Structure 1
């Protein structure tokens, strides 16, 4: 599972979703989906903008949480 840590980083930086949207030029709805971790796809440029605005690295923003059953299914798909 991939975790997007926008909510955590906003709290750490004492910033609101609206602040982040204004600083990055990313639609508030998109920031909201990142915050709620419901977003399905993220533009690489958006990741870069968020990292710059929050003064963080990509590894601070995104985390992979192991899920052995799902990981095995993905490995099987990739190997085919």
Structure 2
């Protein structure tokens, strides 16, 4: 599973959605969907703009979390 950590990064830097919009030029809906972890996909150009504006790496914004595919199947 891919974990979206944009809200954590923004919180650590004390940035609001409007601050990120101003720094990146991204659409409000794009940033809000990512912030609230409702986005289903993330364009590489968007990720690049976020990393540049937030002075971070892609690993700071997204992470791969292994899921136990057998969790919940115990009987």
TM-score by length of 2: 0.86
Offset, 1:26? 0.7
Q: Counterpart of 2:53?
A: 53
CA RMSD of aligned residues (A): 1.3
Structure 1: 5+ residue stretches without partners: 71-80
Offset, 1:23? 0.8
Offset, 1:14? 1.1
Alignment length (residue pairs)? 70
Deviations 1:14-59 (Å, cap 9, x if unpaired)? 1101110111011111101101111011110000000011110011
Q: Which has the higher contact order (CA 8 A, sep 6+)?
A: 2
| Structure that is richer in helix per residue | 1
